Amino acid sequence: MARVRIFGEYRHNIDAKKRLALPSKIRDCMSETMILVSSLFAPCIALYPMEEWEKFEERLDGLSQTDGVEARREIYSKMAEVQCDAQGRILIPQNLCEIAGLERNVVIAGAGAYAEIWDAGRWDEDHRIDKKPIILEKLDKANF
């Protein structure tokens, strides 16, 4: 099976019914059913193709009951299965919009095996600072 590579930055709007049109380049990397989940790493929502979500879920299920109970509770309680409608839109549940602060203007950013959906203002603020030195340091520590 080919490796999923989701990349690029796309600016879109969420409509009043909380529907978001996915760019065709993102849709092409997704499966019919996708997973929306509150990110543990940033104030955004992660959008996974089902195949990639299942890989993540296998790792999550591999945690011991003691180590994984809070992680599973946090992740599964802030998660939804979605599908594109005929216009290529997904419906983002209200609770996930609130968690990520999504109102109207959003950025959909590729993150390799998944995409992230950010409030455009938060994205711009978070990416205002040049993070390349920090990233290079982390890659160096990992002997990349």
Structural contact between residues 17 and 33, judged by C-beta atoms closer than 8 angstroms: no
Give the residues across from 12 on adjacent strands.
Answer: 106
49 - beta bridge partners?
A: 34
Q: Does residue 119 carry a pLDDT above 90?
A: yes
Hey, where are the domains in the chain? Answer: 9-141
pTM over 0.85: yes
Q: What is the pLDDT of residues 33-67, one digit of tens each?
A: 999 999 988 999 999 999 999 999 898 888 888 87
CATH topology of domain 9-141: Chemotaxis protein chec (3.40.1550)
